[in-house]
Structure 1
Amino acid sequence: MPVVNRIAEFSGDMTRWRQHLHGIPELGQDCHDTAAFVTARLREFGVDEIHEGFAKTGIVALIRGQGDGPTIGLRADMDALPIAEATGLDYASARPGKMHACGHDGHTTMLLGAARYLAETRNFTGRVALIFQPAEETGGGAEVMVDQGVLDRFDISQVYALHNAPGYAPGEFLTTPGPIMAAVDEFRVHIKGVGGHGAMPHATRDPVVAAVAIAQAFQTIVSRNAYALDNLVVSVTQIHAGTTDNVIPDTAFLNGTVRSFDLEVQRMVRNRMREIVQGHAMSFGVEVELDYLQGYPPTINDADSAAFAAEVAREISGPARVSDDSPRRMGAEDFAYMLKARPGAYLFLGQGEGAGLHHPEYNFNDEVAPVGASFFARLVERAQPLAAG
């Protein structure tokens, strides 16, 4: 079964929705204009209930099927990134320094397309809960919505989400049972020494040398403390110190990210970082403070849900264009909080060649929006089918 015919019929509308959203990017929980646009479309479609104000601008819309049954949740993220757009498109961001560089405008559009179809046809039992979530990039909007009781309040039994994937063929689906995306942590190292003249380093306690040594030692955590088959990334991404060539500064600063899948590995990294900074503080005669900030947990697919989602994807795109054992990725995703609370699955949808995610020249491929909408629609119809007869 290819793209659902009815969804293909209004694909032009979906393109217009997406390109409108692309022009009005918003950050974090402040997705007011995006939420207003989504709410207006949902009212046009005739959904049964619209609940607003979750995580400030999040929305949950309910569509009732024919007969009693469970409630399945479908989620799309709405927020953009603090990036200056460089696409040159006639519908490019009208808001300087903000752009949809991760395709959340496309994700929102795909869920709107599914909503329109499901509200028209209602070929399922129970209910579908359409979750439009702000603050995926920063702020953990999914965690906020879970903490606000969204899954419990609407009795959502399982949840699913899609993310576009540049570099893969348009319409190709990728997922896997178990971990699919990593946990993300941040570390900050503040070093206080004694500055002085660059010609007299013996009279100082140089924080620059300590910073370089700590950065190098952090790299041994992956190579010497982690099992080689454990997926782990430790990246120092910032070093700041000094202002001129002949002055040794008083302070230095390190910052970076840790990506992992296993709680024991995560704990090991945190402990080793503490040991390393304590040892280097003594070695270089400086004061060192480590802030280790635990972020999004790993995104872990329920095995049965991932297998079921892959079956639905094969209906839409064909068996050759669906991978159900895709390698896990070191990026992070706050849908992890919903998957901690309910069974479900997260999938990637190929969108063809072009600039990668979070790039100022990125643009969502409108041709794949009907594919994603069809997947969501068939997922509901397959998960909660009408009785034969």
Structure 2
Amino acid sequence: MDQKTFIKLKNLRQTLHQYPEVSGEEKETAKRILEFFEQLQPDQVIKNLGGQGLAFVYEGKEKGPTSLYRCELDALPIVERNDINHKSTLLGKAHLCGHDGHMAIISGLGLSLDQQRPQKGRVILLFQPAEETGEGAAAIVNDPKFKQITPDYAFALHNLPGYDKHQIIIKKNAFAAASTGMILRLKGRNAHSAHPEAGNSPAIAMSKIIVALERLPDAMKRFTLVTVIYAKLGEIAFGTTPGEATIMATLRAFENETRDLLVTYAKKLCVQIAEEYDLEISFEFTEEFAATHNDPDAWEYGNEAAKKLKLRTKHIRLPFRWSEDFGLFSSHTKTLLFGLGSGRNQPQLHENNYDFPDEIIPSGVSMFREIINQIHN
């Protein structure tokens, strides 16, 4: 990548960083991406895909497979604590996951395709909304417009702090975990705090559920993880005993089926404890992420690309415990999600002082370009 192109992508990335939008609100971000692609000439532009999503289609001269390259439009609802010139201008919103960098990489791929289209088949550049909430991929797939661009392969990357810059982190099969957010509510009966025996406080049941949920993975044969992330008991009223409680937990596994089994066991366990204390119980589930599964054929393309580019590659043994909305595409096509090292001393993703390192943009663009060359030339 020449210096002029790099500066162009760096400026785009830093502009996107200054004006972050959270899941479901990515209207201005999508507009900026559209403006960037106005100088290019994709064969088709699909707007409002699954919300604010965008797809840019590049057609080859001959018939062939369709491959899709995805990035994310959304930022996080977190206050940024960085001392940088391109710091977020919107308080409480920031690109602390590197989605601004991912967008710059896919935009760079657009610049490359403008110069050299695929020889055969189609290439789709997808800018997905609402990745952070686990809603965007489903909205894309369920949008009737998606039928126009259903891919044979789908590729994505995620920058990974803790690894050397430009390093490729790759794995066959399970790559990132399936997860879901569970919200359970207990309902008892209030009483005067001077006469607690007249009520039915959920306090003891709540305490038992918190301990039992986090110990539940010990009984599972495959990897699972339950993390209680929030709990609320009663109200701040010293004259009143609590009558209600809320517990929120994230449930994770490396396979969708194992996660679903974990959910079944968790619900059964909570119901048993609630019944023991004569409490009403209800459940709600949110932010569901499918496991990301790397297809062997798609993996081969990524692995060969890293080899050809002579990028240092790390073949990991265990999947990552975090989840990625890209996992839903694994249920519909052959997918590959790989990691791009963003520096050993980088703050971790979602930390309030994280900032995507611009110097790894060319490596991301080159990886995708090389995959395209293998599939479409």
Q: In the aligned structure 2, how far is the partner of 1:67 from the partner of 1:307? A: 23
Specify the alignment match of 1:339 in structure 2.
330
**Native 8 Å contact 1:234 1:258 kept in 2:** yes
In the other structure, the counterpart of 2:52 is: 57
Structure 2 Cα separation of the partners of residues 333 and 237 of structure 1: 19
Q: Distance in 1 between matches of 2:69 and 2:370?
A: 12
State the alpha-carbon separation in 2 of the partners of residues 178 and 261 from structure 1. 10
Describe the superposition over 1:288-331 as per-residue Cα deviations: whole angstroms up to 9, x where unpaired.
Answer: 2233457121111112211221110222243xx11234520111
Among residues 295, 303, 328, which one is paired with 1:310 in the alignment? 303
- Comparing 327-336 with 269-278, which one deviates more in the overlay? 269-278
Task: Summarize deviations over 1:17-62 as a string: whole Å, max 9, x none.
Answer: 1001101101213211111111122121222221211122111111
Aligned residue in 2 for 1:287 = 280
State how far apart, in whole Å, the 2-side matches of 1:210 and 1:270 are: 19
In structure 2, what is the Cα distance between the partners aligned to 1:160 and 1:149? 21
Between the aligned partners of 2:217 and 2:72, the Cα distance in structure 1 is 32
Task: Give the whole-Å Cα distance in 2 for the aligned partners of 1:373 and 1:149.
Answer: 29
Paired residues for 1:104-183 under 5 Å: 104-122=99-117, 124-138=119-133, 140-183=135-178
- Taking a change above 3 Å as real, the CA distance of residues 22 and 292 of structure 1, as seen in their structure-2 partners, is closer
Secondary structure of the residue aligned to 1:59 is: strand
**What is the Cα deviation at residue 376 of structure 1?**
1.1
Is 1:196 aligned with 2:191? yes
Does residue 277 (structure 1) correspond to residue 261 (structure 2)? The answer is no
Alpha carbons 2:134, 2:324 under 8 Å: kept = no
Instruction: Return the offset for 1:9.
Output: 4.7
Which has the larger displacement, 56-65 or 111-120? 56-65
Q: Do the aligned partners of 2:301 and 2:374 also contact (CA within 8 Å) in 1? A: no
Superposed, which structure 2 residues align to 1:22-101 within 5 Å? 22-101=17-96
Alignment match, 1:384: 376
Tell me what 2:360 maps to.
Answer: 368
Count of aligned positions? 375
Q: For residue 195 of structure 1, report the CA deviation from its aligned partner.
A: 2.8
Q: CA deviation at 1:213?
A: 0.9
CA RMSD of aligned residues (A): 1.9
Q: In the alignment, does 2:238 pair up with 1:250?
A: no
Following superposition, the deviation at residue 139 of structure 1 comes to 5.1
Shift of 1:127: 2.1
Q: Which amino acid aligns with 1:108?
A: M
Contact 1:101–1:358 at 8 Å: present in 2 too?
yes
Q: Are 1:21 and 2:16 counterparts?
A: yes
The residue type equivalent to 2:47 in the other structure is: E
Could you tell me which of 221, 228, 236 is aligned with 1:236?
Answer: 228
Query: How far apart in 2 are the matches of 1:185 and 1:284?
Result: 27
Tell me the amino acid that sits aligned with residue 143 of structure 1. A
| Partner SS, residue 95 of structure 2 | coil
Q: Percent identity?
A: 27
Q: Is the 8 A contact 2:65 2:375 kept in 1?
A: no
Consecutive unaligned residues of structure 2, counting only runs of 5 or more, are: none
Q: Distance in 2 between matches of 1:122 and 1:272?
A: 51
The whole-number CA distance in structure 2 between the counterparts of 1:81 and 1:89 is 18
Assess if the C-alpha contact under 8 Å between 1:277 and 1:290 holds in 2: no
Identify which range, 24-33 or 367-376, moves more after superposition: 24-33
Gaps of 5+ in 1: none
Residue 218 of structure 2 corresponds to residue 223 of structure 1: yes
Distance in 1 (CA, whole Å) between partners of 2:159 and 2:145 is: 25
1:299 aligns with 2:299: no
Task: State how far apart, in whole Å, the 2-side matches of 1:152 and 1:294 are.
Answer: 25
Q: 1:350 aligns with which of 341, 361, 377?
A: 341
Is the Cα–Cα contact under 8 Å of residues 158 and 342 in structure 1 kept in the other structure?
yes
Most deviating of 154-163 and 17-26: 154-163
Q: Report the alpha carbon displacement of residue 151 of structure 1 after superposing the two structures with TM.
A: 4.7
Rounded Cα–Cα distance in structure 1 between residues aligned with 2:69 and 2:275:
52
Distance 1:122 1:252, change over 3 A: same
TM-score by length of 1: 0.91
Structure 1 counterpart of 2:318, from 320, 327, 332: 327
User: In 2 relative to 1, CA 70–150 (structure 1 residues): closer, same or farther, beyond 3 Å?
Assistant: farther
User: Deviation digits for residues 315-348 of structure 1, max 9, x if unmatched?
Assistant: 2243xx1123452011111111222111120011
Q: How far apart are the structure 2 equivalents of 1:123 and 1:303?
A: 23
Shift of 1:148: 1.3
Q: Residue 272 of structure 1: SS of its match in structure 2? A: helix
Kindly indicate whether the alpha-carbon contact (under 8 Å) linking 1:172 and 1:322 is maintained by their aligned counterparts in 2.
yes
* Counterpart contact for 2:42–2:56, Cα < 8 Å: yes
Cα separation, partners in 2 of 1:294 and 1:78, compared to 1, 3 Å: closer
**Any conservation in 2 of the 1:74–1:111 contact (CA below 8 Å)?**
yes
Code of the aligned partner of 1:68: K
